[in-house]
């Protein structure tokens, strides 16, 4: 017996909860620019709740948030490692701008109930 109904069609309460959770993670990611521990909490939430989002439009937001975390971590490590050189400052500044862009874009798409592109 196969089910043709999308996972998010039947349980509207569950989708609302996941949307609120994704919003909270975007807030944590924004706060992570000031308090890095918030980034760690955000990605833990994403990994724990990702299976609950499988097959829904909200899954793209959780994957977007996870990619944002890992790319930001790599860029921050590069920035810190090269901070004694002038380039490290620009890497860290660019990372902050990039994270802000990802948080704003993700939140706007979430607010419009839109799926994010898979290759972003």
In-domain check, residue 116: no
In-domain check, residue 43: yes
On whether the CB atoms of residues 11 and 19 are closer than 8 A, the answer is no
Q: What is the pLDDT of residue 3?
A: 39
In-domain check, residue 64: yes
Q: What is the pLDDT of residue 79?
A: 96
Q: Count of domains in the chain?
A: 1
In-domain check, residue 42: yes
Q: What is the pLDDT of residue 119?
A: 61
Q: How confident is the model at residue 11 (pLDDT cuts 50, 70, 90)?
A: low
Q: How confident is the model at residue 117 (pLDDT cuts 50, 70, 90)?
A: confident
Helices (H) and strands (E) in the chain, counts: 5, 0
Alpha-carbon gap, residue 115 to 2, rounded angstroms: 24
In-domain check, residue 56: yes
For residues 54-80, average pLDDT: 96
In-domain check, residue 33: yes
In-domain check, residue 68: yes
Alpha-carbon gap, residue 5 to 93, rounded angstroms: 45
Q: How confident is the model at residue 12 (pLDDT cuts 50, 70, 90)?
A: confident
- Owning domain of residue 83: 10-111
């Amino acid at each position: 017996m196969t089910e043709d109904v999308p996972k998010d069609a039947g349980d509207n309460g569950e989708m609302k909860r996941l949307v609120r959770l994704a919003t909270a993670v975007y807030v944590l990611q924004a706060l992570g620019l000031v308090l890095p521990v918030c980034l760690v909490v955000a990605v833990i939430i994403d990994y724990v709740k990702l299976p609950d989002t499988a097959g829904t439009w909200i899954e793209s937001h959780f994957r977007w948030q996870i990619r944002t975390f890992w790319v930001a971590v790599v860029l921050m490590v590069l920035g810190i490692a090269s901070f004694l050189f002038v380039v490290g400052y620009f890497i860290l500044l660019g990372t902050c701008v990039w994270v802000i862009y990802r948080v704003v874009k993700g939140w706007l798409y979430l607010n419009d109930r839109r799926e994010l592109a898979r290759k972003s």
